Structures are given as structure tokens and as C-alpha cells.
Amino acid sequence: MFVLNVLSESAEGPDLTWLLWLVLGLFALIVIIGWIASIKGDKSVQSASSASDDLKKLEGIGPKVEKILNNAGVTTYAGLAAMGAKKIDEILDAANLQMMDSAGWIEQAVLANKGDWDALDTLIDELKGGRRA
């Protein structure tokens, strides 16, 4: 407001009030564009994070185990397959789930990651609780 008063009180020089309004308008435009860009950025992050697989489709993994794996950063079949049974067992041990057998999960995750659903279904029929019956 001080700048507006100074500009409007000087009767001797040219009227520069329009310049102040132009600068304020440009500032507002930049803020709006930045806000819109941040909203679009948030949506792309959400869609990337929602690209997780349903680990419960694998025999032996239920909602509780899936949540524990997701909290440990394992959200996809590829991530589960790449992790290895030893690392998965460490995660399960930390969650007091020592009775789980993750060896069968790796084999299932490899098939699911490839999209070989027929072979996965055949394997699941041979498993009980994630273990070969």
C-alpha cells in the first residue's frame, strides 16, 4: 500500500500505478500456475505409488503379511521376487511371524511378475499355506 500511495501522490512524474498492478497480476499468475503444477505433480506421485501389486493373490500371504511387506517397501511381485527368502524372513522375524515360509512366495512372485497366471494357478494348487503340500 505504501508503494501505491507514493505512486499516486507524485503528481509531477508519470502515473506508474498501472506498473504496480501489472507486477501484482504477474505475481498472482505465477502463484496460480505453480499451484496447478503442484496439484498435477501430486496426482502423478499418487498414481505411481498406486502401481502396487496385490500380494494376497499369492498362496500363504494374507492381509496382515501383505501390510508388513508393504511397510518394508515390498509392494510388487518383482520386488518380492528380487528380495530373496532370507531378507523376507528377516522382515517377518522382526514382525514376530517366524512360522511363515517365504520360499514358496518367491517362486509364485516370479510367475506373477511374468504374468504367467496359468502356471501360477497350477503352482498354488500344489501349495498349502505357501508350502509344497
What residue spans define the domains of the chain? 2-49, 55-132
Mean predicted confidence (pLDDT) in 70-99: 87
Q: Which amino acid is at 98?
A: Q
pLDDT of residue 48: 46
pTM confidence score: 0.57
Region 15-42: what's the mean pLDDT? Answer: 86
Cell numbers at 19, concatenated = 506498473
Nearest Cα to Cα of residue 60 among 12, 22, 14, 92: 92
Return the pLDDT at 97: 80
The helix or strand, by DSSP H or E, that contains position 131, with its residue range, turns out to be strand 131-132
For residue 61, with 0-12 CB atoms within 10 Å meaning exposed, 13-18 middle and 19 or more buried, which class applies? buried
- 22-37 in b/e form (b: 16+ CB < 10 A) is eeeeeeeeeeeeeeee
